[in-house]
C-alpha cells in the first residue's frame, strides 16, 4: 500500500466521527510498520481520547521506527495539561509522520510539527490535503 492509501484510511476513520467530537475536530490516525497497520484510532465522542493516543496504545512497541498518518496536525499542548499527541508520538519512537492538514488551533498551530521535527522525526505536510480538508470545513479552532 502507498502513502496515499494509508492517508485515505485515516480520512475514512475521521469521517466516522464527524459531528460527534464536541469542539474538537475528528482526526484519523493510522500507524504502519513494515507495511502492516499496527495501530489506528479516531477522535472519540466528546473529543477524547485523541486519535493518536488510541493508535499508539494499539501499536505499542511496534510504533518504534513506524510511520504515522494523521489527517490533522497533532496537538502541541493539551487543554487538560496531560501529554500532548506530539509528545506521545516522540516518546513512542515513531520515525516519520505524514500529515494531511495543519491545525490553526492554539493547541497545535505549528507547535506539534515543530516538536516532532526538533526531536528528529521526519515530518511531511499536505498529503491529500484537499480531501482531508473537507473534514474540517466547519471546524472552528480555539484561538487566544
H helices present in 16-119, as ranges: 51-59, 85-92, 111-118
Give catalytic residue positions.
52
H helices present in the chain, as ranges: 3-15, 51-59, 85-92, 111-118, 129-133
d(CA 33, CA 20): 30
**65 close to 33: Cβ distance less than 8 angstroms:** yes
Q: Which residues contact 118 (CB under 8 A, 6 or more apart)?
A: none
**101 close to 71: Cβ distance less than 8 angstroms:** yes
DSSP 8-state code for residue 143: -
Amino acid at each position: 500500500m502507498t502513502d496515499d492509501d494509508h492517508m485515505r484510511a485515516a480520512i475514512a476513520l475521521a469521517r466516522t466521527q464527524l459531528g460527534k467530537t464536541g469542539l474538537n475536530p475528528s482526526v484519523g490516525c493510522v500507524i504502519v510498520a513494515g507495511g502492516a497497520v499496527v495501530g489506528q484510532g479516531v477522535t472519540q465522542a466528546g473529543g477524547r481520547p485523541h486519535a493518536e493516543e488510541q493508535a499508539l496504545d494499539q501499536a505499542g512497541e511496534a510504533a518504534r521506527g513506524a510511520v504515522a498518518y494523521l489527517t490533522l496536525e497533532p496537538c502541541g499542548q493539551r487543554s487538560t495539561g496531560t501529554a500532548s499527541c506530539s509528545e506521545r508520538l516522540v516518546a513512542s519512537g515513531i520515525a516519520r509522520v505524514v500529515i494531511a492538514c495543519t491545525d490553526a488551533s492554539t493547541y497545535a498551530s505549528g507547535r506539534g510539527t515543530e516538536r516532532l521535527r526538533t526531536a528528529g522525526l521526519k515530518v511531511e505536510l499536505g498529503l491529500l490535503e484537499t480531501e482531508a480538508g473537507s473534514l474540517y470545513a466547519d471546524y472552528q479552532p480555539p484561538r487566544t
